[in-house]
Each structure stands twice: as structure tokens, then as C-alpha cells.
Amino acid sequence: MSGTARLGRQSSETPVLRSLPVPDPTPIGPIAAEARTGPLPGVTVALPVLDEAAHIDCCLRSVLSQTYPRIVEILVVDGGSVDATREIASRFPGVRVLENPGRRQSAGLNVALREARGDVLVRVDGRTTVAPDYVDRCVSALTQTGAALVGGPIEPDGTTWIERSVGAALTSTLGAGPARFRNTKAAADWTDIVYLGAARVDVLRRLGGYDEEFSTNEDGELLYRLSREGGVWFDPTIRSTYRPRGSFLTFMRQYFTYGIGRAATVRKYPASLRPRQLAAPLLVLGLLSPWRRKVALAYLAVVVSAAGAETREDPAAGAGMAVALPVMHLSWGVGFLVGWLRSLRPSRTE
């Protein structure tokens, strides 16, 4: 692919996934700063937000506490917040608040990409608090691995029992499966998905940025395209914490839309489908089948077992996890099936 694509519009050409060697496990981040050669790349930190007044103060404080010396700008791209998100963000020095008329995260990230003055774009979520060396380790990983995008694990940090329950579901074996980015103890390696991530601005612009047709899973769609531009590298030392949803209803809505987004990506790139992503849709279909009683009992037994294991660590979270897991699986599975059916409609008129 040559030239620079128009931001927000991408080709449906299927990327070719490559098998890349694992780099030597040399230390990265501030502890390896003396090994760097040449000028440090400038970094643009981008936060696409919508109604994040409850979390953005902690998020921006963590961004402003970074050890990396060349953060050239922090862009908060607001999708039309009706709370105090914009006002809180504008109080921080070095923060520029931009409008996102498209409202979607994909559109907001493209606004940041168009405005970026840095060499590297580091994405941060409004509900996330990043470690002090987060940007430093992102830049070091990009430099040392040659990856197109790097990122770390998702580490839920709930305070209420529902947030802890949702966090436990997100990182449990039953909830996460073999997904590397949901395991903070996983080893560094090439992967298909990371949490948030950092990439070179010129690469993102050349690829056309994020696909604005995607209301969710815009990161997954981009990651699949980046797989032929150097690959995606997972580094467990790129640390951050994430505040999970505070109610089962908002958690359900979140994962329903995630399922819709994943279906759209699979429709565009069939080879992007992973076996683990079929589990939730098959569960939903099983519960609608003549064998639904057996399916329900078997699933309930597995959920109770997983929740029981969590109860030994956190009794409240373990009890809530017995609710969070079905909410997560069923909403994602229904969303995937709904998204798949929706994606079939345009083809009938072509």
C-alpha cells in the first residue's frame, strides 16, 4: 500500500498475517534509556472521551506524571459530553480539547491523528490510569521490536463490588479464554490484540486511520490491518489500570456493542475470526435450541465453578462474577449474531 489513505476509509483487502520472530528479551523502558540512539520521537497522547467526568481527572494526572521526556501534546477529543468532562480536561496544562462531531471513538481517534504533531500516537482511555513509565515503555517497545503497534494487558481496578465482579469476569479464564492481553502474567510475544496501544503516526496515516464505519471494535479492525505492517506486539510491562463498568446493565450494553463490532470485523475480514470468538454465539444458539436445558445446566455448572474459585480470593467479587459472566457471554454472543445478520443486509442490494 503506497501513499496516504483518506482517514476513515479503508480497503477491504485482506491482510496477510505474518509469523514474526520473537525479539530478544532485552529490558525496555526507562531502565534501557542509555541504550537508545538518535533523537527521541515526539509523542502525541490521544484520549477519545464521552461523559467521563468521573474518571478523567485521575486519567490525566497519570498522563502528566509520565517519565518520558518528549510528550509534545495531550489531545482530549470530546464526542459531545453533557457532563463536566471538557471543563475538567481544560484545567490541565498542555491539554488541548478538540471536538469530535462524529461522536464515535473511531472518528475521535481520526481527529487526533489529523492533529497529531508527534511521531508516535499513544491511545489512552478516559477510564484508564497509566503507569508512570507507560509512554516510555510503549516507545521503547516500538523501537526495539519494529512492530506496527504495541500495547499491554488490561488490568481492571474496581472499587465497588459490581466493578470488582466485572473485573474478575474480564480476567478469568472462563471470561478471557486464551486472550493474552487479559492476562497480566502473560509473556511478551506477537499477538492479535492488545489493550489500547501505541503506533507510529505516519503508519496510521498511510493506512487511512481508523475505520469510522465501526462504532465499536475499531481497534480490532485496525489491528488486523496492522498485522501486515510489522505486526502487533504484546508487552506485559506496558501497565495501566481500568475502571470497569459500575452496573450490570451498562456492562451488558458495552458487550452487546462489542459483539456487534466484532461481527462487522469478521464480515470484512473473515480470516480474523478466532475460535474463542465462536464460544459466546454458540452458547446463545445452544440456549435457543431443543437442547437448551442441557446447555443451560452445563454452562451454569461451569460458571459456578469459576465463581467459586474467585470467591476464595474475593467473596463479594466471586458472588457477583456468577452474574457478570453470563451477562458478558450472552450480551456479546447476541451482539455478534445481531451484528452478523445486520452485515448481511447491504449485500442483498448490491
- Specify the CATH number for the domain of residue 72: 3.90.550.10
Q: What is the pLDDT of residue 227?
A: 84
H/E run at residue 202: helix 201-206
Do residue 73 and residue 148 come from a single domain? yes
Q: How confident is the model at residue 231, as a pLDDT? A: 92
Do 54 and 201 sit in the same domain of this protein?
yes
258 within some domain: yes
Return averaged pLDDT per consecutive 10 residues of the chain, 350 residues in all: 54 42 43 55 97 96 96 97 96 94 92 96 96 97 95 92 92 81 86 91 94 83 87 95 94 94 89 88 96 96 90 85 95 95 62
pLDDT at 26: 39
Whether residue 267 is found in the same domain as residue 135: no
Asked whether residue 8 is domain-assigned, the answer is no
Parallel, antiparallel or unpaired: strands 120-123 and 43-49: parallel
* The domain boundary residue, chosen from 229, 244, 259: 244
Q: Quick one: which of 46, 10, 25 has its CA closest to 199?
A: 46
- The reported pLDDT for the residue numbered 37 is 53
Is the domain of 93 the same as that of 215? yes
Which amino acid does the sequence have at 164? R
Asked if 243 and 321 touch (Cβ cutoff 8 Å), the reply is no
Do residues 138 and 262 both lie within one domain? no
Looking at the domain assignment, is residue 283 inside a domain? Answer: yes
pLDDT of residue 167: 92
The pLDDT of residue 16:
37
Q: Which residue has the cell 457478570?
A: 324
| pTM metric for this prediction | 0.83
2 domain-assigned:
no
Query: Residues 279, 179: contact at Cβ < 8 Å?
Result: no
My answer on whether 138 and 285 are in the same domain is no
84 and 46 in a single domain? The answer is yes
Last residue of a domain, one of 222, 244, 266: 244
Give residue 8's pLDDT. Answer: 61
293: domain range? 250-343
| pLDDT for the residue 277 | 86
Cell of 322: 456468577
7 domain-assigned: no
Distance, in Å, from the CA atom of 208 to the CA atom of 106, rounded to the nearest integer, reads 12
237 and 323 housed in the same domain: no
Cα-only R_g, the chain: 20
Contact criterion met (CB below 8 Å) for 208 and 7: yes
Q: 237 and 256, same structural domain? A: no
pLDDT for 1 equals: 40
CA distance 191 to 172: 19
> What is the predicted pLDDT for the residue at 315?
86
255 in the same domain as 128: no
Residue 69: the pLDDT is 95
Is 182 within the bounds of a domain? Answer: no
Q: Phi first, then psi: what are they for 74, rounded to 5°?
A: -125, 115
- Give the chain's end-to-end CA distance (angstroms, integer): 26
Q: Do both 103 and 207 map to the same domain? A: yes
- Continuous segment of H or E residues that includes residue 61: helix 56-64
Task: Report d(CA 19, CA 230) in Å as an integer.
Answer: 10
Based on the fold, state whether residues 263 and 231 are members of the same structural domain: no
Q: Does residue 14 fall inside a structural domain?
A: no
Among 126, 116, 148, smallest CA distance to 45 is for 116
Q: Which of 212, 244, 276 is the C-terminal boundary of a domain? A: 244
What whole-number distance in Å separates Cα of residue 113 and Cα of residue 118?
10
Total tally of structural domains belonging to the chain = 2
**What are the E-state strand segments in 89-184?**
95-99, 120-123, 128-130, 149-152
Output DSSP code: residue 156: B
| Residue 279 forms part of a structural domain | yes
